[in-house]
Amino acid sequence: MAGGRGVPLALLAVLTLQGAGAVKVGHTIRQAEFQQRVEPLQPEDGQFMFDFDGDEIFHVDLQKQETIWRLPEFGNFATFEAQGALQNSIVGKSWLNSLAKLSNVSQTPFAPPEVTVFSEGPVELGDPNVLICYADKFWPSVLSITWLRNGQEVTDGVLETIFYPRDDNSFRKFSYLPFIPARGDFYDCRVEHGGLPNALLKHWEPQLPLPASESTETLVCALGLAVGIVGIVVGTVLIIKAMKMNSARNQRGLL
């Protein structure tokens, strides 16, 4: 048992193609698929995807039986029939069930996620932005991400990626929250996973300059006014001196 949270049983199959087709040597296109059953956390589940140098190209929604492109524009240049992924899924489930009957259940310990929260771009008051919660290096691929704003759950506009497999057979996942920075707001990304004793809260709040107080504003205005007056006085003195010097030169010239 892994921390009393159930025994994982998983089958992971990954096919890597290097220099395939028109891809330049040194780049990697990877087909990654897996079937797993993690009891009692979830029923049997699976995933099928293609990526290029670690970035998703598309995945197949096995429940809806359709191809989902990471960017819609990708679908303008290529096609993929979801039926092929469904056939692979059936084979994977068959292998998984056969292995479960023929072998002892794996007791691989759960690997808890490393979680980071950051903004997509520089944060400015009132300027729309996106918060990103990145969960990395966890196993198995059973993980929940929830966003909180000022302690209240937020669901509007939230987007999540599928589970991305890593080379060591662990996983990573992104969750995106569109937001408009406002003074006093704070956010938390709550992550739940079998490898964590409790839900993990990753706190984030915008680093914004403090608003100037009225006394500070008054002081700044007074200093600006004083500098302006000093400038006028100095300028006047210099003009008077210049006029006197010109007058003295003119008198010498007459002599």
pLDDT score of 207 = 82
**For the chain, what is the mean pLDDT?**
78
Supply the pLDDT for residue 221: 65
Predicted model pTM: 0.68
pLDDT at 33: 82
Segment 102-139, tens digit of pLDDT: 766 556 789 999 999 999 999 999 999 999 999 999 99
Q: Could you check whether 8-102 and 114-204 share the same CATH topology?
A: no
Give the 3-state secondary structure of residue 4: coil
- Give the C-alpha separation, 69 to 176, whole Å: 17
pLDDT at 216: 56
The architecture CATH gives domain 114-204: Sandwich (2.60)
Burial class (CB in 10 A: 0-12, 13-18, 19+), 176: middle
Summarised one tens digit per residue, pLDDT across range 187-246 is: 999 999 999 999 999 999 988 766 655 445 666 566 666 666 766 765 666 666 666 666
Instruction: Indicate if the pLDDT at residue 20 is higher than 80.
Output: no
Has residue 173 got a pLDDT over 80? yes
Given a cut of 50, whether residue 5 has pLDDT beyond it is no
For the ranges 24-28, 89-93, 190-194, the lowest mean pLDDT is seen at 24-28
- Is the confidence at residue 98, as pLDDT, over 80? no
- Look at the block and give the residue holding tokens 């197949």: 60
Predicted pLDDT of residue 144: 96
Question: How confident is the model at residue 205, as a pLDDT?
Answer: 93
DSSP 202: E
| CATH class belonging to 8-102 | alpha beta
Residue 43 banded pLDDT, cuts 50, 70, 90: low
The pLDDT score that the predictor gives to residue 87 is 82
- Given a cut of 90, whether residue 14 has pLDDT beyond it is no
**How is 83-147 classified by DSSP, letter by letter?**
HHHHHHHHHHHHHHHHHHHHSPPP-PPPBPPEEEEEESS---TT--EEEEEEEEEEBSS-EEEEE
In the chain, where the domains are located: 8-102, 114-204
pLDDT at 230 (0 to 100): 61
Indicate the pLDDT class of residue 82, thresholds 50, 70 and 90: confident
Q: How far apart are CA 198 and CA 141, in angstroms?
A: 17
